């Protein structure tokens, strides 16, 4: 059949093409106004750093962290812990880790698992490494040789983090170190999620220097965010730049815009590289006299911004300093927990007494 000289089948084809063009045009138009696609999802979501300065490693009887805290953390709404492990000082002359140290690590992994928490084993000797790259690299490889084999049969809820905050002497050798350590880990743990961050203490600004093997898709990229340090580290006795600074506030529209822009930058990189992201540390020092409500607002803003971008996050830290949990009172620090897990089942009315902190160890 013909319609005004055009064959009906041709007419149908023309209409179909027109329809495709219109629908295509519409979807391009609607895409243009849309949010960018989400990042690859991280395998973990909301976490706490634990055991950074706890004597529990070599002296369990003196430990501040009690076994029931794993369940306390889980029921408050967290799904993982990041374990700051400073094992290098417990290595012998041939770089074998003291068996007692490894037994404590077994205890941490087993108890975290039993409580339903994922666990990141984070090698945390970053200060030693920063001023001793040659020895650090030898010990780091030895650490991962022993730890990889030991935990190779653990489920995927156990993650490895090569080294916390590589900086200074580690900066120029960081990409080579990543490649060498990954080789060691992958020999026994081909699919284990490995956490890796950029040089210069895991700062967003150095992301473009980070070289990761493109064919390894079991990498979770981490960054740390304490910006601005003038707020988060004011009064911190170990930090020469900020120890005498006090009275800094955070929360102006400009502060929030900086936070959003920084996290946008992280997300843009991750989208381009198709990598999931973990904000591995953030928080504000608790011995500074900064009103707790302000620290709470800061922590809340960062956690929400991370979630908005699809980043997992991990607060620094459960106990020690910046505390989320007061082991003296055996209670959460209300404003910090409420900021981290708003409306959680363990939400706290208010803080009752000043928290007692421990003196920080040399690993920090
Ligand atoms: C660092 C470290 C941690 C330290 C914290 C606060 O970047 O990883 O050990 O205590 O941030 O300064």
DSSP string, 89-154: GGB-TT-PBPHHHHHHHHHHHHHHHHTT-EEEEEE--HHHHHT-HHHHHHHHHHHHHHHHHHTTTS
Closest CA relative to residue 107, chosen from 50, 181, 187, 163: 50
CA–CA–CA angle 174, 157, 162 (5° rounding): 10
Q: What number does the ligand 1 atom closest to the CA of 84 have?
A: 9
- pLDDT (tens digit, 9 = 90+) per residue, 184-195? 999 999 999 999
93-102: average pLDDT: 98
Which residues contact residue 186 at a Cβ distance below 8 angstroms, ignoring those fewer than 6 apart? Answer: 216
316 lines ligand 1 (CB under 6 A): yes
What whole-number distance in Å separates Cα of residue 171 and Cα of residue 168?
5
346 lines ligand 1 (CB under 6 A): no
112-129: average pLDDT: 98
Contact present, 143 and 179 (Cβ < 8 Å): no
Phi-psi sector, 165: left (phi>0), alpha (psi -120 to 50), beta: left
Expressed in angstroms and rounded, the spacing between residue 13 Cα and the centre of ligand 1 is: 65
Instruction: Give the pLDDT of residue 28.
Output: 38
Closest CA relative to residue 174, chosen from 183, 162, 186, 184: 162
Percent of the chain having pLDDT more than 70?
Answer: 87
Expressed in angstroms and rounded, the spacing between residue 364 Cα and the centre of ligand 1 is: 6
181-186: average pLDDT: 98
Question: Residue of the nearest CA to atom 10 in ligand 1?
Answer: 364
Q: Which comes out higher in pLDDT, residue 337 or 33?
A: 337
Q: Which comes out higher in pLDDT, residue 178 or 4?
A: 178
Instruction: Give the pLDDT of residue 25.
Output: 40
* DSSP annotation of 288: S
Instruction: Give the pLDDT of residue 7.
Output: 53
Range from 12-21, 42-51, 307-316 carrying the lowest mean pLDDT:
12-21
Q: Which is it for the CA torsion 144, 202, 103, 90, positive or negative? A: positive
Expressed in angstroms and rounded, the spacing between residue 130 Cα and the centre of ligand 1 is: 13
- pLDDT (tens digit, 9 = 90+) per residue, 315-352? 999 999 999 999 999 999 999 999 999 988 887 765 54
Range from 208-212, 257-261, 287-291 carrying the lowest mean pLDDT:
287-291
161 lines ligand 1 (CB under 6 A): no
What whole-number distance in Å separates Cα of residue 331 and Cα of residue 218?
36
Instruction: Give the pLDDT of residue 362.
Output: 38
Beta bridge partners of residue 83, listed in sequence order: 50, 121
Phi and psi, residue 248, nearest 5°: -75, 140
Which residues contact residue 142 at a Cβ distance below 8 angstroms, ignoring those fewer than 6 apart? Answer: 91, 95, 96, 97
224 lines ligand 1 (CB under 6 A): yes
* Residue 238: C-alpha distances to residues 12, 314, 359 (Å): 77, 22, 11
Checking if the pLDDT of 142 tops 60, the result is yes
């Amino acid at each position: 059949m013909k319609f005004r000289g055009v064959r009906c089948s041709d007419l149908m084809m023309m209409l179909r093409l027109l329809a495709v063009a219109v629908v295509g045009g519409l979807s391009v138009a609607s895409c243009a106004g849309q949010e960018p696609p989400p990042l690859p999802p991280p395998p973990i979501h909301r976490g706490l750093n634990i055991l950074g300065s706890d004597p529990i490693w070599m002296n369990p009887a003196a430990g501040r962290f009690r076994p029931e805290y794993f369940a306390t953390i889980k029921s408050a709404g967290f799904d993982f812990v990041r374990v700051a492990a400073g094992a290098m000082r417990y290595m012998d002359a041939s770089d074998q880790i003291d068996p007692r140290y490894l037994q404590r690590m077994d205890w941490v992994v087993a108890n975290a698992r039993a409580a339903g928490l994922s666990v990141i084993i984070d090698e945390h000797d970053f200060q030693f490494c920063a001023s001793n790259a040659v020895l650090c690299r030898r010990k780091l490889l030895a650490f991962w040789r022993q730890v990889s084999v030991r935990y190779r049969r653990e489920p995927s809820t156990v993650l490895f983090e090569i080294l916390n905050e590589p900086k200074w002497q580690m900066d120029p050798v960081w990409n080579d170190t990543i490649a060498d350590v990954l080789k060691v880990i992958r020999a026994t743990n081909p699919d284990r999620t490995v956490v890796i961050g950029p040089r210069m203490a895991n700062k967003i600004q150095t992301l473009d220097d980070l070289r990761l093997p493109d064919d390894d898709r079991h990498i979770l990229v981490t960054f740390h965010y304490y910006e601005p340090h003038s707020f988060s580290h004011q009064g911190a006795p170990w930090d020469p730049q900020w120890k005498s600074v006090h009275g800094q506030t955070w929360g102006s529209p400009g502060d929030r815009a900086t936070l959003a822009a920084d996290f946008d930058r992280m997300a843009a990189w991750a989208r381009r590289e198709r990598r999931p992201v973990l904000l591995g540390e953030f928080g504000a020092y608790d011995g500074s006299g900064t009103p707790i409500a302000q620290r709470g607002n800061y922590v809340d803003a960062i956690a929400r911004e991370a979630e908005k971008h699809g980043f997992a996050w991990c607060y620094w830290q459960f106990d020690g300093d910046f505390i989320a949990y007061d082991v003296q009172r055996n209670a959460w620090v209300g404003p910090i927990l409420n900021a981290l897990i708003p409306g959680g089942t363990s939400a706290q009315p208010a803080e009752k007494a000043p928290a007692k902190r421990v003196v920080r160890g040399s690993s920090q």
